[in-house]
A and B are shown apart, each in its own frame.
Chain A
């Protein structure tokens, strides 16, 4: 029999290399279905790489895909740091999007310099509002936020469908369930002419850097880490746990709301009920791959966006189903989780205590 024991120390090199090794191992695993689909995995991966890095357009597409993932990834990473399991980024994303189209589609006719910041701020606030009830229920009654935030997603999406059939419906939209478009001056300016990548990416990167600095160097981040690592010691040391949790919850919801803002005001221009192909849930994967580090979220978002965009273009070029992308992402997450386990624990033979791994 084998026994599992914690390692005395998690080495720094293992925290860096394990995600990289996990990514490589997941590509190796993904080769199995590619081969079974009758294709050469090497050629398939070359096609994938071309689809991501082969042209300015390819890179732009990949970064466009990465942008909402950075926001939702940050939302999950920050909340999870405090052991607040916000699974509701998908719903908060839509709350942000709803706020963005509400104020952006002609409610205020302001110049860009005012309208875009207003949309950003109100979108973030709307996302934050989505975390108020779950956090209150958790703090007051001990309700599991995994359940409450998850279920709120469905409520918010149905609420959105109602809005899109009613008050928010575009009067010029020929009856389609979609909102009126955001005014031109309310849109994120594009980064490159005639490309889809927009300045929402800049905002995402700036926020990731700020989050990294705040977690590491601010009193607020200190409290957040203390609450997440050991809430009873944090409480004993005079840290107000509930206040910290609320702060983290609002911030996490706000970041997820910005994902919605960035999608409607950066990419689509108007809101439909299929704005997000699960960016909220993918953000959880991003955060886990990133080891809950904000800077890591940038890298993980690029990796996951690359896999999705690359798999799309590979499937077009080679006739392999693009579901492969989901497979690579899932396998890479599993590999990272196993890798994280191996970094923290060692496996020994029960009788002899001899180390196996």
Chain B
């Protein structure tokens, strides 16, 4: 089949509050092509695909798609039905199948008119069987989807899209849930389908797949299309460089010599429900006067590590030593009392109690403190004065300290948490994705406080997906992957990027 453009994303932009999720992204997709869309978490891949599929309305830009007669026509934006009708099929990372009904019913669900389902059943079966034999995607049609394996469910999802005559298929991290064998089978089936005229966009950050299976690749970073190349011209190094960027970092604190170790994790294992919340025999030492950066793609165990240091998760094996002494009672309150300051990843869910006032949230970690309570009763004047002082010192802006903290913006919520944590002069600070989703001003505030804490003699564990942030702030870097920590000897962006993606350097 001749190569012709089937889809054009022209200058798409989308802003969420102060975050520019997509900035003037232009991508063209050729007929029969497998296009890999790469980028770190938060680079804007999913936002872009959600605009394509009509879930989000772009702030500017347009989409053109090939119609039946071969012309490129504009796609109605912000309308999923229009996207479906135009032949765009999307397979989400988390499947959207009804588990209690069969694959056949899932595939035909919503595609048929309610009144003619019975008459068309045979026709539908024939059509599905046709698609299966053409594509090589086999799945049992007559048992409930809940009893199918993950790989089979994914095939059902793809069949569902193809049944609706999709000629452009979008796969969001299709191999995240598959075994390597299943993944290989998927890609060889995709190849077969592209030879029949299907075009595929797949989102991933696994380099092996990109290099092995795509025709062309596009890299997004900070919402921008930063590079697009034929896969035959690409190398892991080139891609890693594009993904993590190479601009100079704005924050560059002066380096100071670290002191003695203050916190050690000794051979700790945590068995979580899935791989992404497990730790396997990790050891780590944090020194005073040190910022330890933990780089890695999210979902590699960072959150368990954070929960462990926050006291929310108990180790199944191993010990946590504070200045050489094992911590006996691992629970959040005890960790706070031992001088841990914790900046949680999800500030709305874990950082603040939205229904309580700003002043109450500022003291929520020290309710036992006799300064703020008298025989079990809150000293509201002290609490309010504290909030007034800290709001000015940390520049927390909002409708007022007596108002519910959920009314604050994300940046101000983070400043509230900073005020609460840093005012206690913690010896050890755990900062989990502390600048994610913040605008430049708030982010640099956060970074400044981390550096100040280090200079004061504290140890900081900085977990971040933003490699620029880690490279700029950290005195030492380790990479987290699959629940393990890997020491980094080189400080080169490419080397770390490769380690994050799972290649040995």
Contact = CB atoms under 8 A, between A and B. Distances in A.
Interface in A280-328: none
Contacts of A238: 311, 331-336, 365, 367
Interface stretch (B95-103, B375-383, B450-458, B470-478): B375-383
A355 to B, nearest CB: 19
A234 B312 CA distance: 11
- For B331, B333, B377, the residue with the greatest tally of chain A CB atoms inside 10 Å of its CB is B377
B342 A225 contact: no
Contacts of A218: 376-378
A237 interface: yes
B310 A236 contact: yes
B377 A226 contact: no
A230 interface: yes
B157 interface: no
Interface string B341-364: 010100001111111100010001
A219 interface: yes
Closest 7 CB pairs of A and B: A238-B333, A229-B355, A238-B332, A230-B353, A237-B364, A236-B350, A226-B353
A229 B404 CA distance: 11
A9 B354 CA distance: 12
Interface in B295-334: 310-312, 331-334
Interface in A213-238: 217-220, 222-223, 225-226, 228-230, 232-238
Contact of A233 (B333, B353, B367, B373): B353
B55 to A, nearest CB: 15
Chain A binding site: helix, strand, loop or mixed by DSSP?
helix
A217 B356 CA distance: 13
Contacts of A234: 353, 364
Given A217-B377, A219-B377, A237 B365 contact: yes
Contact of A225 (B334, B356, B373, B407): B356
A239 B332 CA distance: 8
Interface residues of A, number: 22
Given A8-B407, A219-B367, A222-B360, 19 more contacts: A225-B353, A225-B355, A229-B353, A229-B356, A230-B355, A232-B349, A233-B350, A233-B353, A236-B342, A236-B344, A236-B350, A238-B311, A238-B332, A238-B333, A238-B334, A238-B367, A239-B333, A239-B367, A240-B331
A12 B332 CA distance: 35
- For A9, A222, A232, the residue with the greatest tally of chain B CB atoms inside 10 Å of its CB is A222
B399 interface: yes
Interface string A156-188: 000000000000000000000000000000000
Interface of A: 8-9, 217-220, 222-223, 225-226, 228-230, 232-240
Contacts of A219: 367, 373, 376-378
B364 A226 contact: yes
A229 B354 contact: yes
Nearest to A9: B407
Nearest to B399: A9
Interface in B380-421: 380, 399, 407
Contact of B376 (A8, A220, A232, A239): A220
B352 A223 contact: no
A238 B333 CA distance: 4
A343 to B, nearest CB: 14
Contacts of B376: 218-220
A348 to B, nearest CB: 15
Nearest to A228: B355
A233 B333 CA distance: 12
Contacts of A230: 349, 352-355
Contacts of B350: 232-233, 236
A236 B340 CA distance: 12
Contact of A217 (B334, B336, B380): B380
Contacts of A220: 376
Contacts of B312: 235-236
Contacts of B378: 217-219, 222
Contact of B332 (A9, A226, A237): A237
Contacts of B334: 238
Contacts of B364: 222, 226, 233-234, 237, 239
A291 to B, nearest CB: 13
A5 B485 CA distance: 43
A122 B350 CA distance: 40
21 contacts: A217-B378, A217-B380, A218-B377, A219-B367, A219-B376, A222-B360, A225-B353, A225-B356, A226-B360, A228-B355, A230-B349, A232-B350, A233-B352, A234-B353, A236-B342, A236-B344, A236-B351, A238-B332, A238-B335, A238-B336, A239-B364
B333 A240 contact: yes
Contacts of B331: 238, 240
Contacts of B335: 238
Nearest to A213: B377
A236 B332 contact: yes
B186 to A, nearest CB: 36
Contacts of A240: 331, 333
Nearest to B363: A222
Contacts of B355: 225, 228-230
B114 to A, nearest CB: 20
A229 B378 CA distance: 19
A239 B366 CA distance: 10
Contacts of A229: 353-356
B405 to A, nearest CB: 10
A238 B331 CA distance: 7
Contacts of A223: 367
B31 to A, nearest CB: 35
Contacts of B344: 236
A219 B399 CA distance: 24
A235 B349 CA distance: 11
A171 to B, nearest CB: 47
- For B331, B342, B354, B376, the residue with the greatest tally of chain A CB atoms inside 10 Å of its CB is B376
Contacts of B399: 9
Nearest to B311: A238
B332 A235 contact: yes
Contacts of B354: 229-230
B188 to A, nearest CB: 43
B494 to A, nearest CB: 36
A222 B380 CA distance: 12
Nearest to A240: B333
Nearest to B368: A219
